[in-house]
Amino acid sequence: MPTGPPPPPAIPLKFIGLIGPTPQVPKIAVLSDGKGLPVYGKEGDIILGQFRLIRIGAESVELAYLDGRGRQTIRLSGS
């Protein structure tokens, strides 16, 4: 029984906050990889060169690897 390729590893980011939206600024997610400074992104942005920010909700974000695999919802975790 053939199996497909293994799934990609879990996306190692935490969703730690939200900026906006305001009339001048779209909703921006604040993400952390636990190593460096926080990373900011809006829907459609590429994060850390590896992930696409698909959707920003009030309490979660949806990210995927750039090739579309490994889509994952990450809940707001606070700091």
Domains of the chain by residue range: 14-75
pTM (2 d.p.): 0.84
Give percent of the chain with pLDDT exceeding 70.
95
Mean pLDDT of all residues belonging to the chain: 90
pLDDT tens sequence across 15-53: 999 998 889 888 999 999 998 899 999 999 999 999 999
Write the burial class of residue 5 (CB in 10 Å: 0-12 exposed, 13-18 middle, 19+ buried).
exposed
